[in-house]
Structure 1
Amino acid sequence: MALDRRIVELYDEYTHKPLDRRVFMNRLVAIAGSATAAEAALAMLEPNYAQAQQVKPDDARISVSRLDQSVDGVALKGYLVTPKAQTKRGGILVIHENRGLNPHIEDITRRMALEGFTALGLDFLTPLGGTPADPDAARALFPKLSVEAVVAQGRAALKYLASRPDATAKTGAVGFCWGGGAVNDLAVSAPELAAGVVFYGRPPDLAKVAEIKARLLIQQASRDTRLVGLLPDYETALKAAGIRYEAIVYPDVDHAFMNDTSAERYDAATAKQAWARTVAFLKAETGTA
């Protein structure tokens, strides 16, 4: 049975505003009717990493390592995954939600490598000490990250990916939620980016849209009214600047429909469709077979 929409919307407010945990729980109990019902609802919304893992870290088809190096003076730490096949391939920067580099994003990174890319899940919280284990603590750090710091890390990561001996020299980025917004910010600031995929992310500064060189695939959820409401002005700016893009609003799904760690918001059919579009788009734009 589907949750009360007020609970889903409250959880979205909690994860994006963000709300203090105590305030959130008090409001959740009031809607759910009891502490027991509130806990049951929360279990459907909060991530369950173990149940949602699609690709195991020791999958024989991929190689997994931790990246820890500096590029042009920018410290990069992240989760690097490559396919075992010895072919030239595009590099894909995987940009996390506002929980940081967690097991779900690492799983997404492994999935991307299985599609034939060099995939890097970068920890954008590295300048602030890295992603903490507590997701509330992670969310609290994101307001302290400047757009400039995010773009500097992103560009350094793209340079690393493009310079690898197994690279086609063409790079793409895919981001979710906060990471979707980061892809947009990177697109206006990194002419070397060939392709960007935005999953339920905010637009960039519209005054800078004309600076975009990448091709964009923008994927939003119809029930995510806040972000869908921002899309028309973004599209107007993209069209005026002649930017190559495609924008899709998937019907009857919530924000985070790709995140299979959340039983309530995940939509398997839409996620499969959006993933297939993402992979085909990134392969075409990065020269990956």
Structure 2
Amino acid sequence: MANEACPCPCDIGDKFEYGGLGEEVQVEHIKAYLCKPQYSSDKAVIVVQDIFGWDLPNTRYMVDMLAANGYIAICPDLFVGKEAWSPSADWATFQEWLKTRPARKTDKEAEVTLKYLKEQCNAKKFGMVGFCWGGVVTHHLMLKYPEIKAGVSVYGIIKETEDRYNLLNPTFFIFGEKDPVIPLEQVTELEQKLKAHCKTKFEVKVYPGQTHGFVHRKREDVNPEDKPYIEEARRDMIMWLNKYI
């Protein structure tokens, strides 16, 4: 999925100490974290986890942020009960671990989540945001589900989605300039191929000086110079969803 030295550097050394404002719910065969806005809304966003799982506090913070912006937000466990990657695990075993959690085999979980949002939350309009592994999932599902009206793929590994460019609805791609596993030449090639093959709106944006994981890591506490770009990327994400859902 990435280079051999560090296959997916979602460093959680700066993980939030965050409890969450929502609740855990059962969505057929999977668990999910759900947060609703303070006022009634028929717009929902599915948030797709990174390799550290659906219950990572950082990801739940993003769910709550979306709810604060007027969306029914839900993060389903797309690992379907399998353990998330541990930061203490041996990276040499990562590729074997990843084979048991294929990003392109998440359709069933996406379908039951959409059904839950429709039947239990009265949602009628849908978007999706995914981080890292979830960015790959988002890219994949934006090729298959026309009812997902807007997607945001956040540092999804590009080589996991090669030759898959005919997106059904507007999709925004967020990358960091200094991401060691997504070289800028891959980002440039992705944009060129989207221009050649994609018939809907898309945008590819690179944020200066940023590394993998910057949007949903609290890196401003460690490197204050990152804060403007973290905030910009989050605003861009919300603006894209607002525009197309």
Task: Quickly name the TM-score band, shorter chain normalised.
Answer: 0.7 to 0.9
1:215 to 170, 182, 193: 170
Q: Do the aligned residues in 2 keep the contact of 1:162 with 1:170 (CA within 8 Å)?
A: no
Specify the code of the residue in structure 2 equivalent to 1:200: Y
Is 1:67 aligned to 2:25, yes or no? yes
Are 1:113 and 2:72 counterparts? Answer: no
Amino acid paired to 2:98: F
Q: Is 1:16 equivalent to 2:17 in the alignment? A: no
Kindly indicate whether the alpha-carbon contact (under 8 Å) linking 1:183 and 1:196 is maintained by their aligned counterparts in 2: yes
Name the larger-Rg structure: 1
Matched residue SS, 2:171: strand
- Corresponding residue SS for 1:253: coil
Q: Does 1:89 align with 2:42?
A: yes
Quote how far apart the aligned CAs of 1:163 are.
4.4
Task: Please give the residue correspondences for 1:249-260 in structure 2 after superposition, counting only pairs within 5 Å.
Answer: 249-260=206-217
Shift of 1:224: 1.4
Within 5 A, what are the aligned runs for 1:1-289? 13-14=5-6, 16=8, 46-50=13-17, 53=18, 57-58=20-21, 64-70=22-28, 75-86=29-40, 88-101=41-54, 102-128=56-82, 131=84, 134-136=86-88, 140=94, 141-167=97-123, 169-203=124-158, 205-210=161-166, 212-227=167-182, 228-241=184-197, 242-262=199-219, 263-264=221-222, 267-286=226-245
1:92/1:161 contact within 8 Å kept: no
| Contact 1:155–1:190 under 8 Å retained in 2 | no
Q: Which has the higher helix share?
A: 1
| Distance in 1, Cα, partners of 2:143 & 2:77 | 21
Q: Go from structure 1 to structure 2 and tell me whether the alpha carbon gap of 1:209 and 1:260 turns closer, same or farther (over 3 Å shift).
A: closer
- Stretches of structure 2 lacking an aligned partner (at least 5 in a row): none
Distance in 2 of aligned mates of 1:122 and 1:237: 31
Q: How many residues align?
A: 233
User: Is the Cα–Cα contact under 8 Å of residues 103 and 136 in structure 2 kept in the other structure?
Assistant: no
> Take 2:243 and 2:44, find their aligned partners in 1: how far apart are those partners?
12
- Give 1:93's aligned amino acid: I
Residue 232 of structure 1: how far off its partner (Å): 2.3
Q: For residue 133 of structure 2, what is the amino acid of its counterpart?
A: W
Unaligned 5+ segments in structure 1 are 1-9, 19-41, 59-63
Shift of 1:223: 0.8
Cα distance, 1:135 vs. partner? Answer: 4.2
Distance 2:47 2:101 in 1: 18
Q: Is the alpha carbon distance of 1:176 and 1:165 closer, same or farther for their aligned partners in structure 2, counting shifts above 3 Å? A: closer
In percent, how many aligned pairs have the same letter? 21
Q: TM-score, normalised by structure 1?
A: 0.70
TM-score with structure 2 setting the length: 0.82
**Are 2:103 and 2:134, in contact at CA under 8 Å, matched by a contact in 1?**
no
**Partner Cα separation in structure 2 for residue 154 and residue 194 of structure 1:** 14
The residue matched to 1:126 in structure 2 has which SS?
A: coil
Distance 2:143 2:223 in 1: 30
CA 184–136 in structure 1, closer or farther in 2 if over 3 Å, else same: farther
Give RMSD over aligned pairs. Answer: 2.9
Corresponding letter in the other structure for 1:111: M
